[in-house]
Amino acid sequence: MTARDPKGDFHHLGHVTWNLDYDFQFTWRNGNPRVYKNNSRFSAGQFTSGAPADGKLQSLLNHPSPPHANESVRRALKSAVLGGKPNRSDNGQRIFNNLPPDFYS
């Protein structure tokens, strides 16, 4: 999680180490692929304050260069400012269990 102040400086607030493995097996039915088995996995560690210590990321974190977001983020920001349908419909239904209870207060 990174914030950018009005002067344009970045402040690394915290991070989460995570792993995502896609592992699918497919079969073909009537010329179309179908998922036969999905062994995909996702795991995430605990939220840690500050920037990650991984040396491979230090150059990127210390000297970020554009683009700083993708098109999905740009659309979300435009929708937030100009109004429109929310990007997510489950807002308020899921609680992130790795955040402290007073995170949003």
| Confidence (pLDDT) at 93 | 54
Distance (Å, rounded) from C-alpha 17 to C-alpha 91? Answer: 23
pLDDT digits (tens, 9 = 90+) for 38-69: 999 999 999 999 999 888 888 888 888 888 77
| Confidence (pLDDT) at 43 | 94
Distances (CA, A) of 99 to 3, 4, 21, 49, 58: 17, 21, 24, 11, 25
Best CA proximity match to 44, nearest among 103, 98, 101:
98
pLDDT band of residue 99 (cuts 50, 70, 90) is: low
Above 70 in pLDDT, residue 9?
A: yes
Best CA proximity match to 17, nearest among 45, 41, 42, 43:
45
How many angstroms separate the first and last alpha carbons of the chain?
17
Q: Where are the domains of the chain?
A: 2-82
pLDDT digits (tens, 9 = 90+) for 19-41: 999 998 988 888 888 888 899 99
- The predicted model gives 1-12 an average pLDDT of 90
